[in-house]
Amino acid sequence: MSPVSRGRKTKKKKPQSLDSELRAAFDDAIAEYEGVTDLLDVELLTSDLLGEFWSPHEPERSERDLVFPLLKHAAADQSAAGFALLRAVEALGPGEQVRERAGAAAERQSALGMREPAWAGALRAVEVTGCVRQSDVFGDHEVLVFRCRRGETGHGLVVEVDLHGLDDVYLTVEEDKIIEELRKDTGEFLTCDDIPLAEGRRIVEAAMAVNDSIEETEPDEGPLVEARAYVLARLEAMPPAEAVEPVDQPDIDGIVHEFFAAAQDIPDNEDTRYFAAALVEFGHALDERSPLRASPGRFEAFFADLLQADDVDESAVDALRAVAVGWARWRGGQEELPAAAVELMLEEVEAMLVAVADELAAPQRG
């Protein structure tokens, strides 16, 4: 509400009517609920709806300017589809106030005789019973399949996670088939096992936090825009995420000293020490739980970060190569990676370094 002058009475302003474009968007949203009876379809529809009208980065503005007007419009529509929208948002809305408003509006219509959707009581009654994870040997990519059910009807939530956060997410009724394929697709570089739900929840929540930091600058991008509501509904049905112990700041000088002591063939000079320290700092910023881990994905992100920050030039490429290759060999041994995995990582690092050198030599960087 707009502020008013102290000590003065003001005339109440008439509520502004919706502009034609927003009204049309609200009408389209309501129409989507006509005849929808499947629970998963309702979830997908509602999650997509909330992704369009609500932002986690501007929740108050989203509620004030979009979600609350949408709920008011759905209530005024006085149709079965509008009523269904209210019940769906009551169950899956992004915040307590949104759910309360949707529920209050729906209750008023129910009291007037509006028939409840067949799915209304079951939308939030979801259980998560297990989690299967496939991950690569480097820890760069994970696929998690959460087994879920409502009563006797099962389904799955599939979440793919990489260094950039949540890469893909979807609901499926073929969770058994997907899990079977993941278990078959294992070997020297891939593992698949059951993990506790608390661990699975931690992985997903950490990935969502990364996505949110990216979507703050690119709010219309990323899989969470349309999936947040149904993902949160399942996270809330799991045990609390496993606690993460606080991690101290790394002893950069000590780690760099240990690295050069282990990799004695690397020239010890200002450039190589700079890149070794930068690797430690970057790893800690990326993942406090395992800041020293070496992987193709981490090297790719590290090189991209150096280029973006303009922290490397053509004269230092040899020093960067020595440190990257030495780090891959050192950490590969420390983490007991299979020899074939270390060799694969070294091949990919060398290819990345060629790309870095090409980028630095490009005319536009001159």
Q: Which residues, listed in sequence order, are joined to residue 149 by a DSSP beta bridge? A: 127, 154
Task: Report yes or no: 1 and 10 within 8 Å, Cβ to Cβ.
Answer: no
pLDDT (average), residues 43-66: 94
Q: Provide the pLDDT for residue 1.
A: 33
What are 221-237's pLDDT values in tens digits?
788 999 999 999 999 99
Reply yes or no on whether the pLDDT at 186 is more than 70.
yes
Reply yes or no on whether the pLDDT at 178 is more than 60.
yes
Task: Report yes or no: 264 and 299 within 8 Å, Cβ to Cβ.
Answer: no
pLDDT (average), residues 326-347: 96
Q: Provide the pLDDT for residue 361.
A: 86
Reply yes or no on whether the pLDDT at 245 is more than 90.
no
What are 189-223's pLDDT values in tens digits?
999 999 999 999 999 999 999 888 876 666 667 88
**Token pair 């949203």 in the structure block, residue:** 29
Q: Provide the pLDDT for residue 18.
A: 66
Reply yes or no on whether the pLDDT at 306 is more than 60.
yes
Reply yes or no on whether the pLDDT at 276 is more than 90.
yes
Query: How many beta carbons lie within 10 A of that of residue 36, not counting itself?
Result: 17
Higher pLDDT, 128 or 188: 128
- Residue whose C-alpha is closest to residue 210's, from 287, 125, 138: 287
Helices (H), 189-338: 197-215, 224-235, 252-262, 270-286, 296-308, 317-334
- Grade residue 242 by pLDDT with cuts at 50, 70 and 90: confident
**What mean pLDDT value characterizes the chain?**
90
Q: Which tokens belong to 127?
A: 């259980």
What are 3-19's pLDDT values in tens digits?
322 233 333 333 445 68
Task: Report yes or no: 122 and 39 within 8 Å, Cβ to Cβ.
Answer: yes
Q: Provide the pLDDT for residue 172.
A: 97
Q: Provide the pLDDT for residue 220.
A: 65
The C-alpha torsion from 306 through 300 and 213 to 53, rounded to 10°, is 130
